[in-house]
Structure 1
Amino acid sequence: MLAPFRATSKNAKFLLYFFLPTRQASTLSYHSEADNLNTSLFRQLCDSSIYLVINRVNRINRFFAALFLTPDSNLRNLQITYATRRAVGFLLPGMEEPDKLRVLTKLQQLQEEWSNGKKTESYIAQENVFWAAVDQEYALGPSQLHLLEDRRWTEDSGWSKAEKRNMLETLDFDPYLFEREEHKLLVLTYEMFDSLGLIDRFKVPRGILQNFLLQLQASYRRIPFHNFFHSYNVTHTVYYFLTVCNVKNHLGQIELFALLLSALCHDIDHPGLNNTFLSNAKTDMGSHYNDFSVLEQHHCHKTFEMLGKPECNVLINLNHIEATRVRKYIAACILATDLSVHGPYLAQLKQMQTVDWSSTQDKELIMCGLIKCADISNEIRPTQIGRRWAQRVMTEFFAQSSLEKEKGLPVAPHMDPTKTTTATGQIGFITYLGLPLFNELTRLFPNMKVCCDQMIENRANWERERSKKTGAT
């Protein structure tokens, strides 16, 4: 077990050596100025957000973590600071010395790679593998240190309100454009809640919503598809349905609030493996949920666990009846994303000739339909964006099939690279899952027809690609 951290200038120098951005070398040399650290500089490091955290958590070991995020951090160094924040768990009691050294060395390497402009695609892939292994090996949870500096990242984008609305009210948007600036996706997410009037209506404290978004982001794993970018993408799509397709005109504020929260949390802590694998492999998670909608029940559990933390409880000012309704809607919407129950939901939508907006049951079915559409909405986007999402989901599928073969488990044909291709998979996906569902929602909300049209266009493109490859062989 690590000894409690002592607040001395020597320790501050050690932290500066590893974590102050290299770009500041001209004004603060690691070896010269750091050797002359005095009480004044040390107090500066402890000011503002860091000082508040020390008082708030009242644990000296947390101070060790808090020092990593000094007031001098800026947005250009977000990724390094983010990586540092994710490593906090290594530096608390229970960390073995060899592992601590490994992480500190890796963080220093990341720092050097970024400052020298060597962040190649190959290196990014290696970095993702490293942090995925970190998460799996130590089961790191997100840091509870919601610093003011962290929250500033959810505000500081440089965009006007009109610019944010323009980005939100289009499907021609790829969240991976902000892979190096994830905080900007949090800015846009915050804007969704704000523009729908939810923050004012439910008196959501700004800091609590920011905390919620930061913890949500950190709770998604760094895997090819079911990650925070997918969470954002689904939420963005729900917002598009509500605003551009005018669905919000039929729903109350309670329903809008529940929809955004459901979209954000619908795949939280997804392991990159589907329900079939979790059951066939006799995993603890599968057993815990009795092999029934395993992932979806887990996502619900993690969502309500997060909302149960006072610093993240965005429902804090709702009355009991309102909070109960929101929770009920969230559970229903997340559970509806299980593709094994896709058929029954589609059948119910087909039977619905008109929507009785005074009926809670009808509203819930529509909400589930919207979440389901958003969850499988990759192919309603422009071809190149949809194609990139398809490649990511197939990467995750093929990784699972490899693991299944290794363990002697059944492998689904659509996930086996020896039996399918991305083009074939997407054609089947659009034909049998995507279009039937979108057609039913379009019947009820005609403004969604643009989504069906784009899906049909993308299917034609995939068919041409498959024909070319078939002809070549």
Structure 2
Amino acid sequence: MRSAHATQDTYRCLFHNVECAAKVGTPRTPAEYREVLARISADKRRQWYDWTRSIRENKHEDGWLQLHDVMQPVFDVSKLDLTATVKCKPIKLRLKDHCVTAVMCQIRTDHDKTLIRQSAMQKRTSLFALMFAEDGTLLNANQAALRKFGPDCLESNTFHLKDLFMEGCCPGGQAEAIAAYEKAYEACFKLGVESYRHPIPRISSKTGELKWSMMEMWPMTDPITGKPAVLVIVHNITQQKRLELQLAQRHEALQREKDALQQEARSLAQRLEAVIHDKFIPKSHIDADTPIDKTLNFLHAFIAGAEPSVQSALDIYHVLTESNTDLRQPVGLESQLLQKSSMDTEVGMSMLQLLTGPAAFREGTNPDPEGSSMPSRKSLSRQTSMLKGTDRCQQVLISEASISASLTPQLERMLQDADTNWQFDIFAFSAQAEGHALSLLSFHFFERFNVAEKFGMDPVKLATFVRVIEKGYDPQNPYHNSTHVASVVQMTHLLLHQGGVAKVMTDSQICSTYYAALIHDFEHLGVNNDYLIKTFHPLAVMYNDISPLENHHVAAAVRVMFRPECMFCQRLATDTALFRPVVVNQVLGTDMKKHFDITSRFQMLLKCADIGHLAAAPDTHKRWAYQLEEEFFQQGDREKEIGLPVSPLMDRSNKGGITRSQMGFFSIVGLPMFKAMADVFEGAQPMLDGVMANYRSWEAAAAAADNPG
């Protein structure tokens, strides 16, 4: 028997028998006692104080306690068998001349291992059913677990922690179950988590229904061996899973309803915008639907369950059966544009000439060789000199380093902004670039997005080529200059990589698109095709009045690329099957006369980029509009000089120029095309938003002009 005397929470051993001395050694001195208390953890120290207090106040509970937990401050028990336990009982002890309160401690080392482990499990919580060793063998199980897994599961060592995982019916089969076991093992025995939970699906042997169990695992130390172990409890969560499934199904149903409502809202908003914006001014309306559009709308309404009117079917029938119907041009475009009630007559003539050609050369009219509409010989001579003047690209030899050396920190930041900004300030960038905005942007995109690397381009020759092309744009042109082309290149890049068009294109097509944007207005003369045709310009004669400018842009750029110092990529130069067709198709598609013939996403991409200023910030967009108007005025000045009738909206002596036709251009050309692009490529929605903002600005200005009061 061993007892301890308690004085002011300091304990010392008073008596211990021979067997006790043999097992636990010499008692600690008071100094050693205080040293041990200071050294042990705060939790252990608090447990010691709580236990001694319960002894003094006679509130302790009878039962066997771990010897280490109770006697460590009083004896050195570090080498004692961990299975040893102690049972304590308070007693009164008479000494020589006084009585003391003492604790009689009885030590036992003959406990059954199962009882010790069971006691350890109960100490954690009564819910735990199983205890497993680190190697997965079963160490202990409560009565409920023994009934489920069989009474021999402890003695036979045939039940393994992995078996709990294998009981489930995982979708991935045995492989998924083993992976789940390995993950749980790592969490409990390697990562040292406080607890780990894993849901297990299983099929009921009675009903065949799917049921769910939750396995909870709590790491601990085996009280017998002192090695890592884990406590496990498995409880039924089928009802919880059913509720979760019902909630998930309800959430999915609500999400579908939400998506349907949002789609309906978008559809209504688009219809409303179509009603609002298919007009030039608030009081007029232009029907921009082509025969194909009308037919598709009719079929869509029919498929959706609507009942289209017989009259709408007859209208489509009559349009489609007319011999001169252009399926890709709005029905009755000419009559709509020239109706006085629809818009300003001059505006209508300008739009018609832009989209179909000069009125003097439309079917049913013939130019009079002796009339004032024919240019003089002097003017023809001047046009020949204009053609010679297009060869502005003298020998330019530069290095890749010369482009890189021209980059300032401000320009580098602007180039990074150009990668993602739909309303990039091209005028600010051009001012910083000091006349080299086009070459800097083009070289940046070719290098930054690995186009040059993929095609093995020579960087020195590429730098030379882009500078030569840049030099081919006349800075005297108010609109068709290198800054405009730099803007087109940047918008082309955004449509490819931010809009998502590049995802449906090959590397060769992407490279061809960058190239087409770079050269699409190369050596532009500052006048339109109608002017060249009316003046019998050598380019019009060379290309038989068919897109003379656009044909020249492509041909002249190819001649530059075949110069030895500019042959930056032999592969592209010889790739006649992919490269040239894409470039020719895209550049010729920028001719407004072919607007209603655009059928491919390649043509639509460059066409959207070419008029991309419609989506620019309002100040930038209006600056471009007025610069284009000035370029048209300059053409009107030339037409007056050589004795030709001035084209609609190109006479600067009249009130306003092409800025008067912005509502019509947006309605017939801009909005339908940008909307079609955004419908196919959702990433291009910011571009359409910018177009809509600028349209509303022109609409507000038109309304204010109609109602000055």
* Structure 1: gaps (5+ residues): 1-133, 349-364
Whether the 8 Å CA contact 1:171–1:381 is kept in 2: the answer is yes
* Residue of structure 1 in register with 2:464 after alignment: 211
Whether the 8 Å CA contact 1:438–1:451 is kept in 2: the answer is yes
Q: Which has the higher strand share?
A: 2
Deviation at 1:369, TM superposition (A): 0.8
1:277 matches 2:531: yes
1:415 matches 2:631: no
* Residue of structure 1 in register with 2:161 after alignment: none
Whether the 8 Å CA contact 2:633–2:657 is kept in 1: the answer is no
> What is the correspondence of 1:52-451 to structure 2 with a 5 Å cutoff?
141-148=392-399, 152-159=402-409, 164-177=415-428, 178-179=430-431, 181-222=434-475, 223-318=477-572, 320=574, 322=575, 324-345=577-598, 348=599, 365-417=600-652, 418=654, 420-451=656-687
Letter in 2 for 1:307: M
* Residue of structure 2 in register with 1:458 after alignment: 694
Q: State the structure with bigger RCO (CA 8 A, min sep 6), 1 or 2.
A: 1
Whether the 8 Å CA contact 2:422–2:687 is kept in 1: the answer is no
2:468 is paired with a residue whose SS is helix
Letter in 1 for 2:487: N
Distance 2:638 2:440 in 1: 37
Distance 1:191 1:143 in 2: 23
Distance 2:691 2:660 in 1: 15
2:570 is paired with a residue whose SS is coil
Q: Relative to structure 2, which stretch is displaced further, 283-292 or 250-259?
A: 283-292
Distance 2:548 2:677 in 1: 27
Deviation at 1:421, TM superposition (A): 4.0
Deviation at 1:168, TM superposition (A): 2.7
Whether the 8 Å CA contact 1:423–1:465 is kept in 2: the answer is no
* Residue of structure 1 in register with 2:172 after alignment: none
Asked which structure has the greater CA Rg, the reply is 2
Deviation at 1:290, TM superposition (A): 1.1
Whether the 8 Å CA contact 1:157–1:184 is kept in 2: the answer is no
Letter in 1 for 2:650: M
1:391–1:374 CA distance, 2 compared to 1 (3 A): same
Identity %: 25
* Residue of structure 1 in register with 2:225 after alignment: none
Q: Relative to structure 2, which stretch is displaced further, 379-388 or 307-316?
A: 307-316
Post-superposition CA distance 1:360-411 (Å, at most 9, x none): xxxxx11111001111111101101101111111101111122223333243
Deviation at 1:313, TM superposition (A): 1.8
Whether the 8 Å CA contact 1:423–1:463 is kept in 2: the answer is no
* Residue of structure 1 in register with 2:248 after alignment: none
1:423–1:278 CA distance, 2 compared to 1 (3 A): closer
Whether the 8 Å CA contact 2:551–2:588 is kept in 1: the answer is yes
* Residue of structure 2 in register with 1:354 after alignment: none
Letter in 2 for 1:277: Y
1:462 is paired with a residue whose SS is helix
1:262 is paired with a residue whose SS is helix
Distance 2:497 2:507 in 1: 13
1:255 is paired with a residue whose SS is helix
Post-superposition CA distance 1:62-102 (Å, at most 9, x none): xxxxxxxxxxxxxxxxxxxxxxxxxxxxxxxxxxxxxxxxx
Post-superposition CA distance 1:326-371 (Å, at most 9, x none): 11211111111111011121xx4xxxxxxxxxxxxxxxx1111100
Q: Which has the higher helix share?
A: 1
Deviation at 1:176, TM superposition (A): 2.3
Deviation at 1:422, TM superposition (A): 4.8
Whether the 8 Å CA contact 1:234–1:263 is kept in 2: the answer is yes
Whether the 8 Å CA contact 1:168–1:188 is kept in 2: the answer is no
Deviation at 1:323, TM superposition (A): 5.1
Whether the 8 Å CA contact 1:151–1:211 is kept in 2: the answer is no
Distance 1:210 1:428 in 2: 40
Distance 1:238 1:137 in 2: 31
* Structure 2: gaps (5+ residues): 1-384
Distance 1:151 1:305 in 2: 25
Whether the 8 Å CA contact 2:650–2:658 is kept in 1: the answer is no
1:408–1:138 CA distance, 2 compared to 1 (3 A): closer
Whether the 8 Å CA contact 1:208–1:314 is kept in 2: the answer is yes
Deviation at 1:137, TM superposition (A): 8.5
Q: Relative to structure 2, which stretch is displaced further, 251-260 or 169-178?
A: 169-178
Whether the 8 Å CA contact 2:585–2:603 is kept in 1: the answer is yes
Deviation at 1:315, TM superposition (A): 2.5
Whether the 8 Å CA contact 2:572–2:579 is kept in 1: the answer is no
Deviation at 1:291, TM superposition (A): 1.0
Distance 1:301 1:259 in 2: 16
Post-superposition CA distance 1:240-293 (Å, at most 9, x none): 101111211111110110000000100000001001010111212211111111
1:446–1:398 CA distance, 2 compared to 1 (3 A): same
1:438–1:138 CA distance, 2 compared to 1 (3 A): closer
* Residue of structure 1 in register with 2:366 after alignment: none
Distance 1:238 1:141 in 2: 25
Distance 1:279 1:318 in 2: 32
Deviation at 1:298, TM superposition (A): 0.7
1:423–1:220 CA distance, 2 compared to 1 (3 A): closer
Distance 1:276 1:138 in 2: 19
1:416–1:215 CA distance, 2 compared to 1 (3 A): same
Post-superposition CA distance 1:31-61 (Å, at most 9, x none): xxxxxxxxxxxxxxxxxxxxxxxxxxxxxxx
Distance 1:391 1:333 in 2: 26
Number of aligned positions between the proteins: 320
Post-superposition CA distance 1:179-221 (Å, at most 9, x none): 3623354223211112221111101011011001110110111
Distance 1:143 1:404 in 2: 30
User: TM-score if structure 2 supplies the norm length?
Assistant: 0.43
Distance 1:139 1:250 in 2: 37
Distance 1:294 1:187 in 2: 29
Deviation at 1:311, TM superposition (A): 1.3
* Residue of structure 2 in register with 1:468 after alignment: 704
Letter in 1 for 2:465: F
Once superposed, what is the RMSD of the aligned Cα atoms? 2.5
Letter in 2 for 1:188: L
Q: Relative to structure 2, which stretch is displaced further, 254-263 or 407-416?
A: 407-416
2:569 is paired with a residue whose SS is coil
Letter in 2 for 1:238: T
